[in-house]
């Protein structure tokens, strides 16, 4: 996997963010900004948001990944978006493949202050399409 890490993902690729909490989904089925807010990486402390590259994925594969990446939670939905929308919001998308999840990538470049993070998360929310889990 090492040779695939840290590669900037092309803006024209589609991606998705898996959602495991139903409170991150609006009643109208769209995705709330909180679904995109970053968390600190456990080792580096760097703020990042995990996403899945879905360019070459079937629907079955996407939901399989969603279900297997968080054994402790049930997937509630996903937020489909383009890598371009993350770029437009000021973020960079970097490939971060892991075992059994080569499609894994992270959104980087989050600012330190919360209002600025919320602006970016809101932009991603508005640019994404919510898909409820089957």
Interface with other proteins (CB under 8 A): 21, 23-24, 26-28, 30, 32-34, 37-39, 113-116, 118-119, 121-123, 125-126
Give CA–CA dist 31/25, Å, rounded: 5
DSSP E strands in the chain: the ranges are 14-19, 39-40, 47-53, 77-82, 92-95, 104-108, 129-132
What's the token pair of residue 66? Answer: 């969603």
Tokens 């760097």 — which residue? Answer: 46
What's the token pair of residue 96? Answer: 């971060």
Number of H helices, E strands in the chain: 3, 7
């Amino acid at each position: 996997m090492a040779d695939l890490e840290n590669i900037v993902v092309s803006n024209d690729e589609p991606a998705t963010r898996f959602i495991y909490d139903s409170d991150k989904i609006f009643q109208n089925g769209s995705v709330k900004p909180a679904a995109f807010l970053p968390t600190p990486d456990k080792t580096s402390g760097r703020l990042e948001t995990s996403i899945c590259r879905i360019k070459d994925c079937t629907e079955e594969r996407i939901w399989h990944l969603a279900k297997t990446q968080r054994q402790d939670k049930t997937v509630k939905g996903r937020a489909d978006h383009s890598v371009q929308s993350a770029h437009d919001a000021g973020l960079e998308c970097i490939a971060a493949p892991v075992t059994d999840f080569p499609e894994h990538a992270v959104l980087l470049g989050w600012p330190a202050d919360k209002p600025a993070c919320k602006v970016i998360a809101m932009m991603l929310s508005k640019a994404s399409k919510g898909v409820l889990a089957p």
